[in-house]
Amino acid sequence: MFSRDTLHLWILAGVLVLAAVGFMTVRNLTVPPSFGQFGHYRGAALQTAADKERKLTTRGDCTACHQTLKHEMGKSHERVHCIECHGQGKAHMTACAVAKAAAKPGENLICDKSGLMPTNIRDICLHCHQQMVGRNPKHPQIIFEEHMKDNDPKDPKSPMVCMQCHVPHDPSQEPSDDAGDKDDAAKPADAATPTAAPAAATPENGGDQ
């Protein structure tokens, strides 16, 4: 059919066509459909990332139940997230949500609150307030050793020492005299203890739910 002189060219052309078809087939099977939509990557990756479960809890997650704390947090700490001092609290949130769903209106909720209370508040406070070169000079800072000397607390080595003189939720306030006394278990349910549904607006929750 072909002359001997051109046969090798036709064979070469055939091999190239086969290679091209093979390449397109493999490419179509392996490259994700949204590749190149916005640039040299998979466009749908944006949605995949956005759909991932959120890992960090926000203040809103916590104040949804701890409504009074929305107002109790002082001006200076109102933007400090709960997780800075209390940790993620995911197990707590799940357990309390279950308890909330099962509870009758107005009933005090009981749920897992393990691991929420900081045991070394000094290091947490100093993480943000120890004086450092490069820290915005407007941000309130102390030099721990000097601050202890100046103010002379009862037990300067205690990991809770800052609590003797500062209320963590509102550091502009001084703690009341009985703060830190651990034998106050008999006091009535804390005002901030969430209930299944507040029966009426109280001055604390202001009704702004």
Binding residues for ligand HEC, rule: CB under 6 A, are 57, 59, 61-66, 69, 73-74, 76-77, 80, 82, 84-86, 89, 92-93, 96-97, 100, 109-111, 113, 116-118, 121-122, 124-129, 138-140, 142, 144, 147, 150-151, 153, 161-162, 164-166, 168-169, 171-172, 179, 190, 192-194
Nearer of residues 42 and 86 to ligand HEC, judged by Cβ = 86
Minimum separation from the CB atom of position 53 to ligand HEC (A): 15
Structure tokens at 22: 């093979």
Closer residue to ligand HEC (CB): 29 or 189: 189
| Contact present, 57 and 90 (Cβ < 8 Å) | yes
Q: How far is the CB of 125 from ligand HEC (least distance, A)?
A: 3
CB of residue 64 vs ligand HEC: minimum separation in angstroms? 5
CA 106 to chain centre: 29
Min dist. Cβ of residue 201 to ligand HEC (A): 19
Among residues 42 and 122, whose Cβ is nearest to ligand HEC? 122
* Of the candidates 176, 177, 148, 143, the residue with the CA atom closest to the CA atom of residue 161: 148
Q: Which is nearer to ligand HEC, 42 or 100 (CB)?
A: 100
Query: Rounded to an integer, what distance in angstroms lies between the CA atom of residue 9 and that of residue 74?
Result: 84
Of the pair 35, 144, the CB lying nearest ligand HEC is at 144
- The nearest distance, CB 184 to ligand HEC, in angstroms, is 10
- Choose between 14 and 115: whose C-beta lies nearer to ligand HEC: 115
Of the candidates 163, 143, 167, the one whose C-alpha atom is nearest the C-alpha of residue 153 is: 163
For residue 99 the two structure tokens come to 């308890």
Burial zone of 183 (CB within 10 Å; 0-12 exposed, 13-18 middle, 19+ buried): exposed
CA–CA dist 73, 77 (Å, integer)? 6
Cα distances (angstroms) measured from residue 91 to each of 51, 52, 111, 196? 21, 19, 10, 18
Query: Cβ of residue 69: shortest distance to ligand HEC, in angstroms?
Result: 5
